[in-house]
Amino acid sequence: MKNINPQIEQLNQLIDSHHHIVALTGAGISTSAGINDLMHMPMGSGSLLSSESSLEADPVSFYKELHKTFLDQIFQNGPTIAHKALANLEKSGHLDAVVTTNVDYLHEIAGNTKVADIWYSFNHNYCLKCGHEFSIDILNQSGVPYCPICGGLISPGPTHHHIGTSRTDIENAVTWMNEADMVIVIGSNGYYDRVKENVPLVQINPLKTEFDQEATLNIRENADDVLSGFV
Ligand SMILES: [Zn+2]
């Protein structure tokens, strides 16, 4: 195995010498929790999850698939080492915020308080009958969740919004990115590309991505290995 310590040392120095760091994360940060990239799921899964009509047509199959692809991993495996590292970096004042294209809410579960979930998350779920909104807790049960107020079917946020973008979260993301003096991109393929020029960009990703060209430091390893020192 390649010795990645010099790169981690360089990352530590960059973190110490910057004061407004934002992490931009994508599917790669959640794969060690067992969650696949929505865009690369076995055929049908991604579209199944984004289709409210398939939820209404067959709630049992829909939630069975949702448990298999997301909910069991979120509630049983929880945040990865990298999620926990980012939460610690925020707590110690080294990280301003997280911008993520993930819908799994694992950054918040890990303890990050400033998170822009730009494609919504499983923390916003809606009753299809009375419209009441529920947090992620309503999904933490086996089978199909129903509204405790009116008995209506619950639609998960990303499904309800057809994996659309959240305007509030986009606004936060733009603000935080504009204030950033350094960006750490973790496991993102570049679905979100509002990365300022002229600020150091550190990328942690074992795969080639759109960020390769502009990265000041490119650590081609998985995020858990690189960030374990921060947990
Ligand atoms: Zn209801």
**What pLDDT shows up at residue 227?**
96
How much distance in Å is there from the Cα of 112 to the middle of ligand 1?
30
Of the listed ranges 43-47, 54-58, 61-65, the one predicted with least confidence:
43-47
5's CB contacts (< 8 A; 6+ apart) are none
How much distance in Å is there from the Cα of 150 to the middle of ligand 1?
4
- Per residue in 29-38, pLDDT (tens digit) is 999 999 987 6
d(Cα 152, Cα 144) in Å, to the nearest integer?
A: 11
Residue 194 has pLDDT above 60, yes or no: no
How much distance in Å is there from the Cα of 146 to the middle of ligand 1?
8
**What pLDDT shows up at residue 162?**
81
How much distance in Å is there from the Cα of 144 to the middle of ligand 1?
14
Indicate the pLDDT class of residue 48, thresholds 50, 70 and 90: low
How much distance in Å is there from the Cα of 96 to the middle of ligand 1?
36
Residue 43 has pLDDT above 60, yes or no: no
Indicate the pLDDT class of residue 205, thresholds 50, 70 and 90: very high
Secondary structure (H, E, C), the chain: CCCCHHHHHHHHHHHHCCCCEEEEECHHHCHHHCCCCHHHCCCCHHHHHCCHHHHHHCHHHHHHHHHHHHHHHHHHHCCCHHHHHHHHHHHCCCCCEEEECCCCCHHHHHCCCCEEECCCCCCCEEECCCCCEECHHHHCCCCCCECCCCCCEEEEHHHHCCCCCCHHHHHHHHHHHHHCCEEEEECCCCCCCCCCCCCCEEEECCCCCCCCCCCCEEECCCHHHHHHHHC
Classified as helix, coil or strand, 7 is helix
How much distance in Å is there from the Cα of 121 to the middle of ligand 1?
19
How much distance in Å is there from the Cα of 58 to the middle of ligand 1?
18
Residue 14 has pLDDT above 60, yes or no: yes
**What pLDDT shows up at residue 36?**
81
How much distance in Å is there from the Cα of 120 to the middle of ligand 1?
20
Residue 196 has pLDDT above 70, yes or no: no
**What pLDDT shows up at residue 58?**
94
How much distance in Å is there from the Cα of 1 to the middle of ligand 1?
54
Indicate the pLDDT class of residue 51, thresholds 50, 70 and 90: confident
How much distance in Å is there from the Cα of 57 to the middle of ligand 1?
18
How much distance in Å is there from the Cα of 152 to the middle of ligand 1?
5
How much distance in Å is there from the Cα of 100 to the middle of ligand 1?
29
d(Cα 28, Cα 38) in Å, to the nearest integer?
A: 11
Q: Which residue has the higher pLDDT, 99 or 197?
A: 99
How much distance in Å is there from the Cα of 148 to the middle of ligand 1?
7
Of the listed ranges 6-20, 93-107, 197-211, the one predicted with least confidence:
197-211
Residue 123 has pLDDT above 80, yes or no: yes
Q: Which residue has the higher pLDDT, 4 or 130?
A: 130
How much distance in Å is there from the Cα of 157 to the middle of ligand 1?
15
How much distance in Å is there from the Cα of 190 to the middle of ligand 1?
37
How much distance in Å is there from the Cα of 141 to the middle of ligand 1?
17
List, in order of start, the domains of the chain with CATH numbers: 5-230 (3.40.50.1220)
How much distance in Å is there from the Cα of 131 to the middle of ligand 1?
6
Percentage above 90 pLDDT, the chain: 81
